[in-house]
Chain A
Amino acid sequence: MAVSFVHLRLHTEYSLVDGLIRIKALVKQTVADGMPAVAVTDVCNLFALIKFYKAALGAGLKPIIGVEAWVRRGEEPARLVLLCQNLSGYRNLTRLVSRSFLEGQQRGLPIIDHGWLTGHTDGLIALSGGREGELGQALLNAQPDQAKAWLTDWRALFPNRFYLEVQRTGRPGEEAYLDAAVELAAAAGIPIVATNEVCFLQRGDFEAHEARVCIHDGMILNDPRRPRRYSEQQYLRTPAEMMELFADLPEALANSVEIARRCNVRLELGKNVLPDFPVPGGMDANSYFAVQSRAGLEHRLRRLFDPDAPDFAERRRLYDERLAEELGVIVQMGFPGYFLIVADFIRWAREHGVPVGPGRGSGAGSLVAYALGITDLDPLAYDLLFERFLNPERVSMPDFDIDFCMEGRDRVIEYVAERYGRDRVSQIATHGSMAAKAVVRDVGRVLGHPYGFVDRIAKLIPFEIGITLDKAIEQEAELRRLYEGDEEVRALIDLARKLEGLARNVGKHAGGVVIAPSTLTDFSPLYCEQGDQSIVTQFDKDDVEAAGLVKFDFLGLRTLTIINWTVQIINQQRLATGEAPLDIGAIPLDDAETFTLLKSHQTTAVFQLESSGMKDLIRRLQPDCFEDIVALVALFRPGPLQSGMVDDFIDRKQGRARIEYPHPALANVLKPTYGVILYQEQVMQIAQVLAGYTLGGADLLRRAMGKKKSGGDGQAA
């Protein structure tokens, strides 16, 4: 069957001001209705873009990228639909939308200044916006000359890419506008196109959609003075319905298909582009990286060992070899810039009194990271493997999650923005959704129920992460009783269910920062609150990475603040008595008093070791060296605790069971854990020592094994 119609104007839930459509359901229904393409044109934003693009392609549907913008020439802004034909159009749209947030917000509404369009319409198709577009307003106000003059302007801005948009959704003024528009189109030789300004999928969703709009606008549903801007016909009409509706204007439908044909944006997703590190003195990044790493290692080695000792040369040989090996892999994978950027902001933080954590995740396995000061633990001393972090046989982005003292984290982010340019650095959006409790309160309000009534229902919803209305009704007998017995409660909850989980607002991701190699809008549209300087990407953290940006996690760790404050107190006292200040990085890791404290499990307030279950494990295990503390954290998880592994470990350590190795060759690998296989690194080393795997190959084997046991929780980061 020939394609007869494509929806080119449609609001998803991400429009925030209206829109009830969830991406997945949209894709499903579009396919079911036999339409090969669909556009998403959220109000002034591209929040949903990546999700929509992926979902559509996944279902064999052509995604058309666009927005429904507000454009202002004089006083009042008017609507305009912009659709991307190609990548250049997508870039232009990204810039326009970003600019409307950064510079054009009025009463919370991001507005594109008409002047900005000049020179930035390449690759964009414009639909006139119907009744609420500039031309629509002029026509309805009986100013045909004005309309003609503006039309000339629009045609010049969008040559062969401007369409007069008409609708039949049962709203006032539509037919009058349509007649005038058709007349103008014929006279000026401009094509017309039909849209349905879709805001929900089914006709029956109209009431829920009205409720959503009321929640956003702070209105009450049955307030007679409330503006009625929507009609129940703004659902996803089928091509057949559209054909019947526009039987008199078949070209308006044909043009929708034509436009869909003209829009062909191919996004390259999943290819990350690293920013360049500004290398001083004309050196190339790779050699600068190597020089820095070697210098860093030199510094570390002189603190680890006595450089005048006869065995120094022998001892450092291992380190030099490992460094050379790692440098080779990092350069070959193209990540020197990443390492240099991370090392740079960590150095800045340390120099400016912002405490930095020793590195979380697998980064501590890299000697280069240790040499550059990114991590703070000698990986060779603890058998930490580089391949666990970067596997040359499985290319993936490196990921250092860096902990900072809560108090100083924002200063480091500020430094990064200064260093790489404010137009290249931003934080990342999160899209908040309507949670069970809040949606009940919101819906109760728009239904006009008294506060006490709504409060009583809302309070019955348990305070749990991930609670839904369905779960709440299942769990709470009282709520179920009300739901089943009270009509008003049932109506409220049923309506709330339809809105539950919809996108509600935009927030800021806790620690994520992106640093772009060029201006941010080459990768993601931007968002900010009106009057707020802090910019976030419109894409959330997964989408922003899919769009090619590299995310750096700046996490806040309270314990670092505690350590910092403690050291401050100590050093104040030491200053008074003329003692040298304490350097927490230089304390010996075999201190007897510390282990006495641990063995007596007096570990309240000691990081990671303070829970009562952990105290009991410590009491039984009696840790007496640093390796034992490493083991404690690894052992204290449901898997090891339930499998008997912990008891085995303790018995061996306490000498109640013999320390055995599955093969004599594994003695070195398994010695720190008394013969028990506790770490992923050990699994890798076994494959290396016993069966000749490369560590990269061993990492692949480990991943395969770990995946098979989906019940395991081995992945820490």
Chain B
Amino acid sequence: MAKQREIFVKGATERQVGAEVASYIFDLMEKFAGYGFNKSHSAAYALVSYQTAWLKAHHPAAFMAAVLSSDMDKTDKVVVFIEECRRMNIMLAPPDINVSEYRFTVGALSEIRYGLGAIKGLGEAAIESLIEERRRGGLYGDLFDLCQRMESRKLNRRVLEGLIRSGALDALGSNRATLAARLPAALQHAEQLSRNDAAGQNDLFGLAAAESIPAHPLPMTEVAEWSEEERLRGEKDTLGVYLTGHPFNRVAEEFASLHTIRLRDLVESSGLRRNNDHSLMAAGLVVSLRTRNANRGGRIAFITLDDGRGRLEVRIFPEVYERHRQLIAEDAILVVQGTLGWDEFNQTTRLNVERVLDLDGVRAEYARQLLIKLDLQQCEIGVLTPLARILAKHRGDGRCVVLVDYVGAGARVEFKCGSNWQVKPSEALLKQLRELLFGVEKVRLRYGISDI
């Protein structure tokens, strides 16, 4: 290298560059040759980056539909892209047996239509024949029509159940619970028809009497739709995402008074990123959980929280994880408390978790008021006695004051129950009260955050 330097400096001085400057520049080059990047490669690949950015800017729905399709078999990717669609205000239409193609498509209103290929457990061959038959014989009218037109080999009960739970058959019945309830009959009906067909073919003289099957099955009773929780679980199982709602929604309002920070704000709050003392709480549904061995022993956990609007991966160090590991599981709703830091290695904001609470934990600790709405009518049908009994059962060492908002005939009063009525506001208590009073909105929790 010394020789190279000599040549360089000599060449430079011949071009009227001072030897000292030349040597300095040689140092610089040496330093940067180590970091230097092949620009040819970088430029060529930047063109691909630019093209995708251009497509995303000008044709967002078409681009995201293609992106979703390209990774449709990887649920973790699909989840991220769907999140991005929501952020971009692209409407995402659920899968529909009568509209969807194999891949994600773009509809007339620039909405992205879920591709059938993204439904788990549905083979490519089955989907192709579904679409093929739809092209040939027109839209599927109802569940019976679908079962009749598809051979059971290609579309067995398990696959059909998946289709129902994913929402792809919503157009074929009034609700998913009803479709699921009718499925056995529809399959049986289809099987009888195909048996008769086969018998008809074998029996040249038509001597064998066909079983008599009604050409159109009788209308069947309707079943009440699944609870939101069950419906969402079905979507999660078959699509990997909650499409028509989010499990966190049921506590989102409650947590608003807890002043948990919204995860998306946290992700985008790079302004905060070097502020290490900022203690805060974040809440969400655990959508993924993985652990690995920590260098210093014990296990370190990475959980991704999802509050229906954003996601955040948080790292939980061994001591904290060890203390709370029985709470930390997929699909649990958790509140994490900690300080915000900057992860130099990954160049991202990190929440350093100091404490993990589940629903009951956070309520026991921070809920200050349990607000119950009562009215005259309820009192007349006699809710007061069971109400008192339920509250008494949950008194424990609770610190949560019970407030009653009573609406009578032409009068309304809010009063606070005595301190001997203080309760521990567990999920069980809330559930019992809400059942008793017929409504989620009748029972509310309020948090006091001053002690955080």
Contacts and interface: CB of A to CB of B under 8 A. Distances in A.
A645 interface: yes
Q: Counting chain A CB atoms within 10 Å of each CB, which of B40, B55, B57, B348 scores highest?
A: B40
A559 B66 CA distance: 10
Nearest to B3: A704
A357 interface: yes
A87 interface: no
B11 A691 contact: yes
Given A690-B17, A704-B1, A362 B36 contact: no
B21 A663 contact: yes
Interface residues of B, number: 68
B202 interface: no
Contacts, number: 280
Interface stretch (B25-33, B116-124, B183-191): B25-33
Nearest to A593: B57
B38 interface: yes
B84 interface: yes
B59 interface: yes
A593 B58 contact: yes
A631 B39 CA distance: 8
A708 B30 contact: yes
B12 A691 contact: yes
Interface residues of A, number: 101
Nearest to A641: B347
A643 B35 CA distance: 9
A630 B29 contact: no
A597 interface: yes
Contacts of A565: 65-66, 69-70, 103
A709 B36 CA distance: 11
A639 B105 CA distance: 42
B70 A609 contact: no
Contacts of A573: 62, 106
B45 interface: yes
Contacts of B29: 677, 683, 686-687, 705
Nearest to B48: A607
B37 A678 contact: yes
Interface string A347-375: 00000000001111111110000000001
Interface string A294-329: 000000000000000000000000000000000000
A634 B38 CA distance: 8
A382 B35 contact: no
B33 A563 contact: no
Interface string B38-66: 11111111111111111111110011111
A716 B42 contact: yes
A401 to B, nearest CB: 9
A708 B35 CA distance: 12
A594 B57 contact: yes
A360 B15 contact: no
Given A662-B28, A712-B33, A591 B54 contact: yes
A421 interface: no
B4 interface: yes
A598 B54 CA distance: 9
Interface string A600-624: 0011111111001100110100000
Contact of A630 (B46, B55, B56): B46
Contacts of B80: 604
A389 B103 CA distance: 40
A259 interface: no
Nearest to B343: A613
B33 A383 contact: no
Contacts of A388: 38-40
Contacts of B346: 612-613
A609 to B, nearest CB: 6
Given A613-B346, A690-B17, A607 B33 contact: no
A642 B287 CA distance: 33
Contact of A717 (B17, B41, B47): B41
Nearest to B105: A569
A475 interface: yes
A376 B44 contact: yes
A680 B347 contact: no
A559 B52 contact: yes
B34 interface: yes
B37 A680 contact: yes
B70 A690 contact: no
B33 A680 contact: yes
Contacts of A357: 44, 48
B70 A562 contact: yes
Q: Counting chain B CB atoms within 10 Å of each CB, which of A477, A637, A686, A705 scores highest?
A: A705
B36 A605 contact: no
Given A617-B347, A633-B46, A705-B33, A603 B66 contact: no
A669 to B, nearest CB: 11
B270 A619 contact: yes
B67 interface: yes
A379 B55 contact: no
A561 B28 contact: no
A705 B32 CA distance: 9
Nearest to A705: B33
Contacts of B9: 691
Given A569-B65, A612-B346, A662-B24, A680 B39 contact: yes
A652 to B, nearest CB: 15
B277 interface: no
Contact of B39 (A358, A603, A630): A630
Contact of A566 (B37, B63, B87): B63
B302 interface: no
Contacts of B87: 602
A381 to B, nearest CB: 9
A702 interface: yes
B22 interface: yes
A558 B17 contact: no
A440 B70 CA distance: 35
Given A633-B49, A690-B22, 5 more contacts: A384-B43, A630-B46, A691-B11, A693-B8, A709-B34
Interface of A: 357-365, 375-377, 379, 382-385, 388-389, 475-477, 557-567, 569-570, 573, 584, 587, 589, 591, 593-594, 596-598, 602-609, 612-613, 616-617, 619, 626, 629-634, 637, 639-641, 643, 645, 662-663, 665-666, 677-683, 686-687, 690-693, 701-702, 704-706, 708-709, 711-712, 714-717
9 contacts: A358-B48, A362-B40, A477-B293, A584-B51, A606-B53, A632-B46, A662-B21, A683-B29, A691-B22
